[in-house]
Structure 1
Amino acid sequence: MLDLLLPPDCPACHQPVDRAGLLCPDCFRAMRFIAEPCCARCGQPFSASAPGGAGRSCAPCLDHPPSWRNGRAAMIYDERSRVLVLRLKYADRTDLAPLLARHMVRAGRELLAEADLLVPVPLHRGRLFRRRYNQAGLLAVAIGRIAHLPVVPDALQRVRGTPALARLGAAARHEVLRGAIVARPSRRERLAGRRVILVDDVMTTGATLGACARAVLAAGAVSVDVLVAARASDPARMGSDGGRTTGA
């Protein structure tokens, strides 16, 4: 009855679809989903079929290894995927979390098979109050339901607010985030000895995810992987093209 009254449409272009939560065929084909071969550390797809360097890592990860072990992303952050991410983040389209989570589970299947629990990247309480929800938390809960993994939504906290990162370079982002994210004292026991997957919507330079990974490891986790909905194909351009993102 609900479908008769409110016919389901594509969340990206609003064309009719058979079932709510599905992309239309045109938008599905236009999405740049990430598959092998890609960097094992950050999920960046390789331009050729040959594997990357040592450990299947891209050049930036070889030059500056991230704080986490392995990372995967479901899709490239471009004009199409940006629509879904920004509607989830800023337009109260919380119904998009399960859609993105399904693709994240596909991309991170190997990581999820070895994980003990999921931890979302936190928002500062001021930003959480204004937005009313943490999009990374919604993604983590949706992934947990599919992969049958526990979620600790408040394992990490931002102890101080930080400026918007979209216009900052990698070095400036790392400096701004220094000491800004820590493990919540009451949740350190949940993290100790666990294999943790950090969940976020977008990875750009990896500064935010790196700060989170260091906090989780400092709390005693044995390993940290990352799983995101979208990966910037050219992090240096993020924030200069008008796309709003937290710049993880």
Structure 2
Amino acid sequence: MEAGVASSRSIGQTLRSAWAHAARLVLDIALPTLCVACREPVAGVGVCAECWAKLSFIAQPYCPRLGIPFVYDPGPGLLSMEAIADPPAYQRARAAVRYDDVARTLVHALKYHDRTDLAPAMGRWMARAGEELLGEADVLVPVPLHWRRGWSRRYNQSGALACVIERQSGVPVARDVLRRIRPTQQQVGLSRSQRASNVQGAFKVSPEKAHEIQGRRVVLVDDVLTSGATTDACARALLRARAAQVDVLVFARVVDTHKAPI
């Protein structure tokens, strides 16, 4: 009797699995997954092989402080002009890719078009790029959204990326430690000085959560590093709350190819 019941359950599970597979197959045929960049059909999610090849992954040589790629190897320890002229509050920054057309499309899809399915791949690339930082880190802190923007967007893209990096690296995410205490306008289109003014005083460490970063090495996680105004404002807030050190890990960063190391 028991053998018959077990056999029936096994058959039922097999049929359900077959139906689920068939349903996925029909859905893939009816609604094929499209490359987020070129809109061509692609197996799986994200980008097709051609667009993936167009992503400009950042590798050494790069500025040891800012992670800006060099066009030639200047030798160990030499910094970029930006790092010398205007050193940030954070210690080091690393990015997976340059902020080019394909990277911009990926970021905008994740950020504005609910493409949370892109976060796993983007987060894995970030974890690889930030291996040095993550190996020394105690905690991850995503750059927060203001609650109004978070409510309208329904999720924080930096938080989604931080969760993937947590799974890849084992470094825990400190959630709700850093808060955006006032709304800021979109940084797109603002000058460097306007960006800095826009985020000045916009971030604060929650007093009841401060113990989670005090004396600890923090990796701040965001999607894009442009002028560095947002990450610098966040780093200052974390350091005021007595974080031991703040590094920055982003998916993409803007690179000025006309500047050289000195």
Q: TM-score range by the shorter chain?
A: 0.7 to 0.9
Alpha-carbon contact 1:41-1:66 (below 8 Å) kept:
no
- CA positional deviation for 1:56: 3.3
Matched, 1:186 2:226: no
Structure number, greater radius of gyration: 2
CA distance in 1, matches of 2:117, 2:65: 29
Structure 1 residue matching 2:38: 3-state secondary structure: coil
Select the residue among 52, 55, 67 that pairs with 1:43: 67
* Aligned-residue offset at 1:17: 4.2
Identity %: 47
Shift of 1:11: 3.6
SS in 2 for 1:95: helix
CA contact (8 A) 1:140 1:151 kept: yes
**Deviation sequence 1:78-133 (CA, Å, 0-9, x none):** 11111100000000001111110111011111111110110000111111111111
Alpha-carbon distance, 1:50 to partner: 2.2
Determine which of 172, 177, 184 is the counterpart of 2:194.
172
Q: Distance in 2 between matches of 1:22 and 1:78?
A: 16
Give the number of the structure whose residues are more often helix, by fraction: 2
Name the SS for the 2:90 alignment partner: coil
> Distance between the aligned counterparts of 2:87 and 2:24, measured in 1?
48
Gaps of 5+ in 1: 236-248
What is the CA-CA distance between 1:134 and the residue it aligns to?
A: 0.6
Amino acid at match of 2:37: A
- The alignment partner of 2:116 has SS state of coil
Report the CA distance between 1:158 and its aligned residue. 1.1
Q: SS state of the match for residue 198, structure 1?
A: strand
Please show how residues 79-98 of structure 1 align to structure 2 within 5 Å: 79-98=101-120
CA RMSD of aligned residues (A): 1.8
Q: How far off is 1:176 after superposition?
A: 2.2
Normalising to structure 2: TM-score of the pair? 0.83
In structure 1, what is the equivalent of residue 4 of structure 2?
none
The 5 A counterparts of 1:178-217 are: 178-217=200-239
User: Which 4+ residue blocks in structure 1 deviate beyond 6 angstroms?
Assistant: none
Contact 1:128 1:134 in 2 (8 A): yes
**Is 2:34 aligned against 1:12?**
no
- 2:174 matched to 1:152? yes
Determine if contact 1:38/1:56 at 8 Å carries over to the other structure.
no
Distance across 2 between alignment mates of 1:50 and 1:59: 12
3-state SS of paired residue (2:70)? coil
Instruction: Check conservation: 2:143, 2:220, Cα contact below 8 A.
Output: yes
**Do the aligned residues in 2 keep the contact of 1:21 with 1:95 (CA within 8 Å)?**
yes
**What is the CA–CA distance in structure 1 between the aligned matches of 2:245 and 2:234, rounded to whole Å?**
12
8 A Cα contact 2:95 2:249, kept in partner: yes
Contact kept, 8 Å, 2:138 with 2:217, in 1: the verdict is yes
Give the TM-score of the pair, scaled to structure 1. 0.88
